[in-house]
Amino acid sequence: MRPNLRRPQVLTLLVLLTGLATGGCASLMSNAASGLADSLSSGILNNDDPETVRAGMPSYMIMMDGFVHDNPGDPAMLGAAANLYASFGAVFVDDPARASRITARGRDYALRGICISYVAACDWRKLTYDEFVATLDGLDARHADAAYLYGFATLAFLRAHSSDWNSLAELPQAEALVKRYLDITGEAAKSSAHMYLGILLTLRPPALGGKPEEARVHFEKAIALSGGRDLSAKVEFAKGYAKLLYDRELHDRLVGEVLESDPYADGLTLTNVLAQQEALRLQAEADDYF
Query: Is the model more confident about 160 or about 241?
Result: 241
Question: Does the structure show a pLDDT above 60 at 23?
Answer: no
Question: Are 87 and 130 within 8 A, CB to CB?
Answer: no
Q: Kindly state the average pLDDT of the residues 217-222.
A: 98
Q: Kindly state the average pLDDT of the residues 254-268.
A: 97
CA dist 25 and 211 (Å) reads 51
Question: Are 144 and 177 within 8 A, CB to CB?
Answer: no
Identify the pLDDT of residue 12. Answer: 32
Question: Does the structure show a pLDDT above 80 at 10?
Answer: no
Question: Does the structure show a pLDDT above 90 at 2?
Answer: no
CA nearest neighbour of 144 among 112, 183, 111, 116: 183
Query: Is the model more confident about 105 or about 18?
Result: 105
CA nearest neighbour of 191 among 271, 80, 82, 135: 271
Identify the pLDDT of residue 114. Answer: 97
Identify the pLDDT of residue 199. Answer: 94
Identify the pLDDT of residue 35. Answer: 65
Confidence of residue 209 (pLDDT cuts 50, 70, 90): confident
pLDDT-above-70 percentage for the chain: 87
CA dist 102 and 159 (Å) reads 12
Mean pLDDT of all residues belonging to the chain: 87
Q: Kindly state the average pLDDT of the residues 117-137.
A: 96
Count of C-beta atoms within a 10 Å radius of residue 222? 26
Question: Are 254 and 238 within 8 A, CB to CB?
Answer: yes
Question: Does the structure show a pLDDT above 60 at 25?
Answer: no
Contacts of 210 (CB under 8 A, 6+ apart): 201, 202, 203, 204, 244
Question: Are 88 and 61 within 8 A, CB to CB?
Answer: yes
CA nearest neighbour of 113 among 148, 58, 73, 141: 73
Q: Kindly state the average pLDDT of the residues 22-33.
A: 44
Question: Are 22 and 70 within 8 A, CB to CB?
Answer: no
First to last CA, the chain: 43
Helix, strand counts (H, E) of the chain: 14, 0
Identify the pLDDT of residue 32. Answer: 57
For the stretch 46-88, pLDDT in tens is 999 999 999 999 998 998 899 899 989 999 889 989 999 999 9
Identify the pLDDT of residue 30. Answer: 53
Question: Are 143 and 118 within 8 A, CB to CB?
Answer: yes
Count of C-beta atoms within a 10 Å radius of residue 73? 11
CA dist 180 and 110 (Å) reads 17
Identify the pLDDT of residue 37. Answer: 62
CA dist 142 and 75 (Å) reads 13
